[in-house]
Structure formats: structure tokens, C-alpha cells
Amino acid sequence: MVKAIEATGLPVVHIATVVPISLTVGANRIVPAIAIPHPLGNPALEAAEERALRRGIVDKALEALTIEVTDQTVFER
Amino acid sequence: MVMRKKNMAKIKVVHYINQFFANIGGEEMAHVPAEKRAGHVGPGMGLAKEFGEEAEIVATIVCGDSYFNENVDEALENILAMIKEEEADLFVAGPAFNAGRYGAACGTVCDAVQEKLGIPVVTAMYEENPGVDMFRKSVYMLETTNSAAGMRKVLPKLGKFALKVARNEEIGSPAEEGYHARGLRKNVFVEKNGAERAAEMMVAKLTGKEYVTEYPMPVFDNVEPGKAIKDLSTARIALVTSGGIVPSGNPDRIESSSASKYGEYSINDMGETAHGGYDPIYANEDPNRVLPVDVLKDIHAEGKIGSIHPYYYTTTGNGTSVANSKAFATEFAQKLLADNVDAVILTST
């Protein structure tokens, strides 16, 4: 889906847990997620902390969208 | 390196399977770390039958699919140590069919075992399994159907092929042996020279007869990265997910696996997940853990982005075909363009 959307010219950032899979299928901007059942969360944290964690990942994702890339790039948190 | 005398002793095999095939549990047990059990487990029984007197599964390693993919380094270290202990002659992983995390794990472990322990390896999975593209070049992977219904058919093939690999016998072409093409070129001598073969191929092509290319053109389907956003504060952002988030009750009945459709829903209407390929408990408690609408709204409220597209697009990534995924995204991307969306955040589990 990432590539099909990006083929229209729209930049896409892929927030994914299994980064090697995202790389193999060809996403250009990748932000690693937390875990498979909760990519943007952590149930072990207090609600406020969890929201802050989620915020951090989305901030990173938005930042990735502002950066020109020529090759596949993983934006580590 | 110790050279072992080739004798008629049974080939010692270590088998790797996931928590589901070991009957530990489904997604709710995908987090279990690797453990070693003596003898065969689950489908290993069928595989052992195929091996007969030639080989013996001396141990089976069972590992949760989520655990492996979330802790690759640690899992590999432990698994390699477990295999080394057994002094195995052969390592077999799967079959993984279309289970993506399982296939990725099988490929990753096989690759590491081959490289670090020098033990011959074989796995098996469906062609769309991400594990294939990840490791086809280095690991022998037999073709399978896309679901575990193909288990009975693939075990005999797997047993036979694995023995060949273990004995270091001549391995034929992918077509002959039934493994995913590795992209390796092998020089062979043939009777006819190139000019003759090319002419024959051309004649066949022109007269509509069948011919087989000697060199399949590589398929490059990478996409140009989209241009970066110059000014986030005026940008319109859309959310998409393969994590299967849907409104409560899954009104359009998006399938839990092999989705035949996608949904377009208001970002204020997230209720649960339809995806059957991961433990749904956390996403059901709070769908924002898969599709971060709440924080995106915060970011918008702070003026950091211009606007949010009012709908999210969702489907289930679990076993959904590449063709379908592409078709869905191509279709809804038109809506994004029509609504002047500038960029997309796509989340996957």
C-alpha cells in the first residue's frame, strides 16, 4: 500500500514494527514502531506516558516527511 | 574445523516452528521466547515420517512470532546456541505458508544458521511471504500454497529436498526442485550455440508457440520517494493502516485475514481491530495504539500541521494479497489527491 500511494507522488512514511519487512517491500521513509500488537503504544506505561510515547513516534514520522530522501531511509527514534 | 567421517549414521535435524504449530496458542501467545524441546513437535511428526530411517529430528525450537520479530538479536543468539548444542547436520524451519512474521523468522534463522554455524538449511513458504524476498538469495525455500491446508502436500517435498541439501547432493533448478528462484546464474554446457537457441526462440515467439526465456528480466518495482513537505504547518495529513482498525462492530465485515476490501471511515470512528494476525487486546482497548488519531489531533491543535484528512483508510494486512493491497491503495489514493492531502502516515503491526 505504501508504494501504491507513493506512486501517485504523495510522500508516505511507514510506521512499522518489523523494519526488515518494510525495507524489503520497498518503503522509502520508515519509522520503527514499538511492538506488533501495539505499534504506537505500550500498555505497560501509564496513560499519559503512553500518549507521550505515541506523540514521539508521530513527531518523528512527520519530521521524516519533511526530509528529502533518495534511498530507503529508516528514521530511528 | 573437524572433518567428520561420512558414515551411515542418521542425519541429525533441528526443526524450528512457531507457537501456533507447537500448539502453545494463537496470537495471544505470540510473545513467548524461544525454547527447545526434545524430538519432533507439531508438523515435525509428519516431517519425521518423511525422513524415515535417514534422518531424525533430535530437537525442535519453538518461538513466538512476535517475540522473534521484536527481539531479533536476542532471539537469534539464544536459538543459535540451542542449535549448536545439538550438533545438527541439518536445520529445517517452517513451513510458514503465508504467515509473514513466521516466514520472516524462518528466513532470518536459516540465514544465520547457515552463515554462523555452517549447517545446511531449508525452509518453505508461500511466494508472497515477506520472508521470500528477504532471504531468497541465500536460503533454499520450497514453494508452498498460501495456507496451512497445504501442509500434507508440502511435507513429503520438504523431507525429500531437505535430505538432498543435507547430503550436499546436486540441487537442480528452481523449476525442477520446487524452490523459490534465488536469482543465481549457473553456467551449463548445452548442445546448441546461442545463435541457434535465440533463432529458435524468436521463431517460437513469432509463431505463437511456447518458449522459455533463458534470462527473465528483473522486475524493479521500487517507487520514487515522494517530495518532502516544505512547510508542515500548512500540510494536510492523512492516516492509513494495515492494522485493521475499524468502527465498533466492523460494520463492513473487513476480513481478519486475506482482506477482500478496505474501509473508509471518519477519524472519529475507531472502535476495534478486525485484524486476526496479532493479539487484538491492546488495539481493542485503544485503537490509537495502531492508528494515532489522538496525538495527530494534538499536533494539529498546536498548529504544527495544517489539517487532517477527515477519513482514515484501513484494511487487514494479514495474508492479504499484494495485488489486493495495491488495488485498494491505488483507489483510495485518488481520494487523497482529490482532497489535497499532502502526505500520508501509514501504520502497520
Q: In what order do the strands lie in the sheet with B121-125?
A: B35-38, B55-63, B11-18, B90-93, B121-125, B140-143
Nearest residue to B294 (alpha-carbon basis) of A5, A48, A67 = A48
**B168 and B308 both lie in a single domain:** no
Contacts of B224 in chain A (CB under 8 A): 6
Q: What angle do CA B65, B71, B73 make, to 5 degrees?
A: 120
Task: Give per-residue pLDDT as tens, A21-75.
Answer: 999 889 999 999 999 999 999 999 999 999 999 999 999 999 999 999 999 999 9
Average pLDDT over residues B44-52: 97
**B40 and B157 both lie in a single domain:** yes
User: Does the pLDDT of residue B5 top 60, yes or no?
Assistant: no
**B26 and B167 both lie in a single domain:** yes
**B173 and B284 both lie in a single domain:** no
Task: State the cell numbers at B333.
Answer: 489514493
Q: How many domains does chain A have?
A: 1
Average pLDDT over residues B191-202: 92
As a whole number, the mean pLDDT across chain B is 94
| Distance in angstroms (rounded) separating the CA atoms of residues B43 and B148 | 10
User: Does the pLDDT of residue B6 top 70, yes or no?
Assistant: no
Average pLDDT over residues B89-104: 97
- Between chains, do B221 and A26 touch, taking CB under 8 Å as contact? yes
Question: B30 in contact with A at a CB cutoff of 8 Å?
Answer: yes
**Is B225 within the bounds of a domain?**
no
- Between chains, do A24 and B304 touch, taking CB under 8 Å as contact? no
**B170 and B27 both lie in a single domain:** yes
Residue B99 identity (one-letter amino acid): A
**Is B3 within the bounds of a domain?**
no
**Is B71 within the bounds of a domain?**
yes
**Is B216 within the bounds of a domain?**
no
Tell me what pLDDT residue B213 has. 87
Nearest residue to B337 (alpha-carbon basis) of B264, B258, B236 = B236
Q: How far is B298 from chain A (nearest CA, A)?
A: 9
Q: How many domains does chain B have?
A: 2
Query: Which of A5, A40, A50 has its CB closest to that of B329?
Result: A5
**More reliable by pLDDT, B301 or A25:** B301
CATH number (domain holding residue B147): 3.40.50.2300
Domain limits for position A54: 2-74
**Is B199 within the bounds of a domain?**
no
**B298 and B172 both lie in a single domain:** no
**Is B219 within the bounds of a domain?**
no
**B20 and B164 both lie in a single domain:** yes
**Is B109 within the bounds of a domain?**
yes
**B120 and B15 both lie in a single domain:** yes
Confidence of residue B167 (pLDDT cuts 50, 70, 90): very high
Pick from A1, A2, A59, A75 the residue to mutate for testing the B interface (most B CBs within 10 Å): A1
3-class DSSP state for residue B144?
A: coil
**B170 and B241 both lie in a single domain:** no
Least confident of B76-90, B202-216, B266-280: B202-216
- Between chains, do B225 and A29 touch, taking CB under 8 Å as contact? yes
Report B:187-206 residues touching A (Cβ under 8 A).
none
Tell me what pLDDT residue B161 has. 97
Q: Which of B162, B177, B192 finishes a domain?
A: B177
Residue B322 identity (one-letter amino acid): V
Domain limits for position B40: 11-177
Backbone angles phi, psi at B155, to 5 degrees: -60, -45
**B238 and B340 both lie in a single domain:** yes
**Is B169 within the bounds of a domain?**
yes
Average pLDDT over residues B63-82: 97
Burial of B118 (0-12, 13-18, 19+ CB in 10 A): exposed
Tell me what pLDDT residue B137 has. 93
Q: What's the Cα-to-Cα distance from B315 to each of A43, B95, B133, B326, rounded to whole Å?
A: 23, 26, 22, 12
User: Does the pLDDT of residue B7 top 80, yes or no?
Assistant: no
Task: State the cell numbers at B254.
Answer: 473487513
User: Does the pLDDT of residue B1 top 80, yes or no?
Assistant: no
Average pLDDT over residues B42-47: 97
Query: Which of B299, B325, B337 has its CB closest to that of A58?
Result: B299
Q: Which of B131, B154, B177 finishes a domain?
A: B177
Confidence of residue B2 (pLDDT cuts 50, 70, 90): low
Q: Which of B159, B177, B195 finishes a domain?
A: B177
Task: Give per-residue pLDDT as tens, B230-259.
Answer: 999 999 999 999 999 999 999 999 999 989
Question: Residue for cell digits 516431517?
Answer: B47
Task: State the cell numbers at B70.
Answer: 521484536
Query: What pTM, to 2 d.p., does this model score?
Result: 0.82
Report which secondary-structure segment, H or E, holds A12: strand A12-16
The strand pairing partners of B215, in sequence order, are none
Q: Please, where are the H alpha helices in B97-150?
A: 100-112, 130-135
Task: State the cell numbers at B19.
Answer: 507457537
3-class DSSP state for residue B312?
A: strand
Percent of chain B beyond pLDDT 90?
87
